[in-house]
Amino acid sequence: MSVIGSAAADGFIAKEAGRHPFYLVHGPDEGLTHERTRAIARKILGDEKDPLNLLRLDGDEVAREPGALADEAHAIPMFGGQRVIWIDAQRQDLLAALSPLFARPPQSCAILVRAGQLRKDSALRQAFEKTASAIVIECYSDEQANLARLIDGEAQAAGIAIAPDARSALLALLGADREATRGEIAKLLLYAMGRQRIEIEDLEAIVSGAAPSKLDHVVDRSLAGDVRGAAASAAQYFNEGGEGEQLMARLIAQFVLLHRLRLEMDRSHSPDAARSPSFVKLPPSARRALSRQSESWTLEAIARRLPAIQAASANVRARPLLTRLMATRILWSLATGAARGHTPST
């Protein structure tokens, strides 16, 4: 048995896949488990076009008839060559079907089991780890280095350059799921087709999570001192069914983040360093908004206002019929205070 960590998995698959009869591909990143299982299957089958040489089964099918898996795995291909059986585990108990195969591995068939995240004491994981001819491949969300290689490789293949600030922002936005990551990169490249370079504005136009939400508009305009804009955004938010509790939670989270940024600015005396993407992992529009707010709010002003915001949040939860009134009142108070210079910059 060999356990291949997530960071080394792609290199292992490219060089070693096909030399073992059993593979367990598992982890919380479903897109990545699918991509790596497919890569192993392609590596084993090569240019083989016979659809009979790749059999995909659901875990419940295998669990219902455990003996059928061994029969299928030991069947001799009609036209020779290697075969692959791909099983999506779906939290089913597959040991009754796999144990006979572990004892007598098939000669011309590889078994690929794709599963979600498995605990170390999982019976399926332990069975694979105890089998000498098995490989366990872990799939965790992309690390920054792997994600950067993926972005650069896709952009290079498309013949499009990517601006440094756009690349940094994209790194901060992606990585939780490989399939979703590839989808967002493909969408961005398609949007930029015909141009030589992707800019930060392109991300905000097309990448999920890069553009500000209605909640962001309400909070950002209030903290920036835009009284009319904050009032209009709040009215639109509530008219479209927005919830007061969610708005207050976002306002508190932004205030805490603003406090953290302002504290770092005061300590380092370097606003640019404190606002860098490496310090605040936010979409570009959110970083710009936070940067503007940090010029108006001092540490003392933030500390003075935060208890009032927290009290308003508690009132919103306790008195749902007055949610809109109380939330709008605190937003208006923050906006007018910033607009009148009650929170002067240092």
CA dist., res. 151 & res. 144, Å (int): 10
Q: State how far the Cα of 281 lies from the Cα of 168, in Å rounded to an integer.
A: 10
Return the half-sphere exposure (C-beta side, CA atoms, 13 A cut-off) of residue 25: 25
Report how far residue 311's alpha carbon sits from residue 212's, in angstroms, rounded to the nearest whole number: 26
Per-residue pLDDT of the chain (346 residues; tens, 9 = 90+): 689 998 889 999 999 999 999 999 999 888 889 999 999 999 999 876 667 789 999 998 999 999 999 999 998 877 778 899 999 997 778 999 999 999 999 989 999 999 988 988 999 999 999 999 999 999 987 777 788 888 999 999 999 999 887 888 788 777 767 877 888 888 889 888 889 999 888 887 777 665 556 677 788 888 888 888 888 888 888 888 878 877 888 788 788 778 878 777 777 655 554 555 445 456 666 777 777 787 778 888 888 888 888 888 888 877 877 888 888 888 888 887 676 654 434 3
**CATH superfamily of this structure's domain 2-138:** P-loop containing nucleotide triphosphate hydrolases (3.40.50.300)
Query: Are 140 and 27 in contact, with CB atoms under 8 Å apart?
Result: yes
> What is the number of alpha carbons within 13 Å of residue 78 lying toward its C-beta?
4
CATH topology of domain 214-339: Zinc Finger, Delta Prime; domain 3 (1.20.272)
Cα–Cα dist 135/152, whole Å: 29
Sign of dihedral through CA atoms 228, 286, 276, 203?
negative
Task: Point out which residues pair with 197 in neighbouring strands.
Answer: 161
Indicate the domain borders of the chain. Answer: 2-138, 144-206, 214-339
Q: Which CATH architecture has domain 144-206?
A: Orthogonal Bundle (1.10)
Dist CA 172 CA 64 (whole Å): 44
Lookup: tokens for 157: 């293949």
Predicted local distance difference test score (pLDDT) of residue 228: 84
